[in-house]
Amino acid sequence: MADGTRAARPLSPHLQIWRWTVTMAASITHRATGLALSAGAALLSAWLVAAALGPQAYAPVAAFVDSPFGLVVLAGFCWSLTFHALNGLRHLYWDAGRGFALKHATMTAWLVYIGSIILTVIVFAAGLAAKGGA
């Protein structure tokens, strides 16, 4: 300002200033699904160890997986995997120097969300059908 006073504004941006967009949400979701996949890998390892130890060790794990909460955990893990994979492909597309236009970035973010939900439903339904639950 000409008189030497500073405008009253924050020194750095924060979440109250930014308008939420699907591209921002996709970036945050990508990080969150990466963390969820790490936790899911630990659960997958426990499942494999229980399977290797025999029927007595495997029975409680199988009971957990068959429970309603276990199915929600599996569905969440499946969605995290499909979202993270599709968004990773989106990032590879960006690495090729394409898709940076705002309209294109927004469209691909929506496609990642929609595609991950569709793939999760397909994979989860196929898994239940193979198990005999559908």
Interhelix angle 22-53/102-131, nearest 10 degrees: 30
What are the binding residues for heme? 84
Question: pLDDT value at position 4?
Answer: 62
- Model pLDDT, residue 27: 95
pTM of the model: 0.82
- CA-based Rg of the chain, rounded to a whole angstrom? 21
Domain presence at residue 5: no
Q: What is the CATH number of the domain that holds 82?
A: 1.20.1300.10
Tens digits of residue pLDDT in 91-102: 999 999 999 999
Asked whether residue 114 is domain-assigned, the answer is: yes
Least confident of 16-20, 25-29, 42-46: 16-20
What are the C-alpha distances in Å from 46 to residues 42, 50, 72, 128, 133? 6, 6, 17, 21, 23
Domain total in the chain: 1
Q: What is the mean pLDDT of residues 20-36?
A: 95
Domain extent for 53: 22-131
CA torsion through residues 51, 54, 55, 58, sign: negative
Residues tagged in the binding site annotation: 84
Helix, strand, or coil here: 64?
helix
